[in-house]
Amino acid sequence: MLVKSFLQINFMFVSQENLNYQLPPEEILQLADYQRLPSIEMDVNNKYLLYIYRNTYKTLEDINQPEIKLAGKRINPVASISSKIDYIRNLKVALVDGGVPVQVSGLPENPRIAYLTWSRDDSKIAFTNTVSNGLELWVLDFETASAKKLTDARVNAFFGNPICWFADNQHILIKLLPEKRANVTDALSAIPAGPVISESDGTKSHNRTYQDLLKNKRDEDNFVALATSEYNKLDLNGNKVLFKESNIYKNENISPDGKCVMISIIRKPFSFLVPEEYFAKQTIVCDSEGNTVKVVNEVPLLDSLPKGFMAVQKEKRRFNWRSDEPATLAFVEALDGGDPAIETEFRDAIYTWKAPFVEAPELRCKTNLRFSSISWCNADVAVVEDYWYDTRQAKTYLINPSKPSEEPKIIFERNYQDVYAFPGNFEVVKNIYGKYSLAIENDCIFLTGPGHTPQGQFPFIDRFDTKTIATERIYQSAFTDKIEEIYSFEHFVKGDVLVRIQSPAEYPNYFIRNIKNNTLKQLTHFENPFESINTVQKELVKYKRSDGVELTGTLYLPAGYHLHSGKKLPLLIWAYPAEYKDKDSASQTTANPNEFTFPHYSTFVYWVTRGYAVLDDAAFPIVGEGKTEPNDNFIEQLIDNARAAIDAVDALGYIDRKKVGVGGHSYGAFMVANLLTYCELFACGVARSGAYNRTLTPFGFQSEQRNYWEAPEIYNSLSPFMNAHKMITPLLLVHGEEDNNSGTFTLQTERYFQALKGLGAPARMVILPKESHGYVARENIMHLLWEQDRFFEKYLK
């Protein structure tokens, strides 16, 4: 009888709706089906603008390509490149000093361009082009605005960008597939020689739940076949010389003087528990002809790191060339063994090691917190940053690399979630080696920042004196009806700054602002592709939740809507929860009502054209002060955030609070399912690509560092799947068929829907074919918009 009942229940689950792809209503379609405008890049000499064109969406045909999933990667085994890459479809060049973009000549027909890599002098760009049988290397010359092919289809981009320019700007180090490459297809179809076996030796391993891991010997063989390359040194006529014999080369970095090449090599054993970034590695340095000079590091398989977000390997890490010297390596070594649980004054030490590495590495400084970054300037100036996740603390130090005995000077110390106190990012320029180092003038370095304040956003440029440790503001945007984003300080003597300016109805365009004479020179003239929503009403709504935390959201109202009409609108809220350690940081906002209104499938803004009020990017902070973790009262804070948002818009008189829908993606979907489970504030919800059973991510999720066995009540209470019997609110569940995000397996949505359906809850599940964690195919995105619109019309109107 029990078996019969089980079969009857499962029979209920197989009912499906056979439906072809649909298009959303015309109001949404005319916004969603637009031509994507180009992005731009500018050369270091401020002479050329490169216009980069991509398609708005991919097609199902684009994403229905050969794919193999190995060690955390998804690769097209024919093209030897990521199967998820977003290709560039065209390139144009224009002069900064005026001129219409000119089509780059010589490009292949129907190009699929990736990995644009500028030469050190910015006179050329190397890039890959994907063809039916592989990956080619091409080069673009700015002077002639022309491109030419350098190799046949043998380039290997398994680990990402395979291109590295030598210092002479005439030679390229390129990864090519070996002439005698292993046959991947044969390995895939091979009959297994035995079972898959894993064994625990008693060592604790706090690994997250990763996707696409190696599973068996066949996967290991395929990984070796696809990841193996040989290095070739190539001139600009396509002549090549073998630089390094075949091996599993992960990445490479050529020294500033071009005489040394640092290469990392993946070694066995591999792992079924972690992706390739944790595999054993060897780091070597070669001379400019490929001869090994020194093995500078050996790292074992890292599948059992200590617990916590601040855990790192105990071996040397973060190897890179010091950008201001000819051939000096810099690296970091943990002083706490990589274990954040160990109490110690200093966490990390920074060393430099000068080629040919005969002398021992030299200590440059120690950091109190976990090392984050170092920016080199010259022999006397460098800037070091560290941080600590548990306290959200960050420090910035000024050091003298030539005098390591000098105490580092703390120049900034703050809570890194305090956006109002963010001092900005240090500006860098290309130095004599064609490498980026800190821009310095008269002992001053420079910072540019977004300029978020309680009164609004006012981007700035500061001058920092390295001698007096004093900061002077030399420019701050005065716009109150627009946003002026500072991209880079292009010329310090002249005062030229590359900026991008936008407003709610003005598409972002690029300008050169001269901060000395306060002039603007427009570089691009992109037109607004979304004219139909120019008259939509938009405002930043500020409100408080019950504990006093200040919240915001961007409110959209239909064009022509008037409060005195007496019409109450249904409301759609789109949000994503964010964790904080203090209420002050949680109360801050980076939302700006002057931002260009850019409708996108990842929000609900489209529905303002369908008669809905939309509260976009509603603040949903989750605060865990002191020793309290944010998840300790996650549900209570979710509900408090939601109630405050609805109350705020309702108080303005715009909405019918009985007709409110909520939506979110990924962790936002997790939020939606919990809101509908634990409160009655919403009439419906849309949850896309979420995780609903936290026992399937037992060693942490999002910002939760405790494992399931340390906090079972948290994992269980926060799992909508475990509480599916409480759900009575209509829920639209959407997921990509091939989700590649850690923890958000497609199975999460499938099993949650099974539970809801079996318990009689009103739910609909849509699985989008071939999609990963984010959605890219036009057919799927248009159908998603149709599904959401039909769902809202049914439950909110």
Q: Which long-range contacts (CB under 8 A, 24 or more apart) does 525-532 make?
A: 526/37, 526/38, 529/34, 529/35, 529/37, 530/31, 530/34, 530/597, 530/598, 530/599, 532/27, 532/30, 532/31, 532/609
Q: Is the dihedral of CA 44, 48, 49, 52 positive or negative?
A: negative
Catalytic residue among 666, 719, 742, 772: 666
How far apart are the C-alpha atoms of 684 and 679, rounded to whole Å? 11
Question: Strand 763-768 and strand 731-736: pairing?
Answer: parallel
Q: What is the DSSP letter of 598?
A: -
Contact 509, 524 (CB under 8 A): yes
773 part of the active site:
yes
Question: What CA–CA distances, in Å, run from 519 to 5, 99, 495, 594?
Answer: 77, 19, 10, 21
Please enumerate in sequence order all residues whose Cβ is within 8 A of that of 197, keeping only pairs 6 or more positions apart, or say none.
none
Say what the alpha-carbon torsion angle 57, 487, 593, 585 is, to the nearest 10 degrees: 110
How far apart are the C-alpha atoms of 638 and 621, rounded to whole Å? 8
304 part of the active site:
no
Please enumerate in sequence order all residues whose Cβ is within 8 A of that of 414, keeping only pairs 6 or more positions apart, or say none.
393, 394, 421, 422, 423
- Could you tell me which residues are beta bridge partners of residue 689? none
E strands within 161-274?
163-165, 171-176, 229-235, 240-247, 249-254, 260-267
SS3 call for 778: helix
Tokens read off for 775: 């959605």
Residue whose structure tokens are 């009912």: 15
Tokens read off for 550: 């200040």
Please enumerate in sequence order all residues whose Cβ is within 8 A of that of 396, keeping only pairs 6 or more positions apart, or say none.
383, 384, 385, 410, 411, 412, 413, 423
How far apart are the C-alpha atoms of 36 and 530, rounded to whole Å? 11
Tokens read off for 37: 């405008």
Catalytic residue among 119, 739, 742, 783: 739
Single-letter amino acid, residue 338: G
Question: Strand 550-557 and strand 537-544: pairing?
Answer: antiparallel
562 part of the active site:
no
Please, is 393 exposed, middle or buried when counting C-beta atoms within 10 Å of its C-beta (0-12, 13-18, 19+)? middle
Give the containing element (helix H, strand E) for 116. strand 113-118
Give the containing element (helix H, strand E) for 682. none
Catalytic residue among 171, 452, 735, 773: 773
Question: Strand 428-430 and strand 452-453: pairing?
Answer: unpaired
How far apart are the C-alpha atoms of 268 and 279, rounded to whole Å? 8
Tokens read off for 2: 């029990």
Give the containing element (helix H, strand E) for 579. strand 569-580
Tokens read off for 27: 């109001």
How far apart are the C-alpha atoms of 2 and 25, rounded to whole Å? 47
Catalytic residues: 666, 739, 773
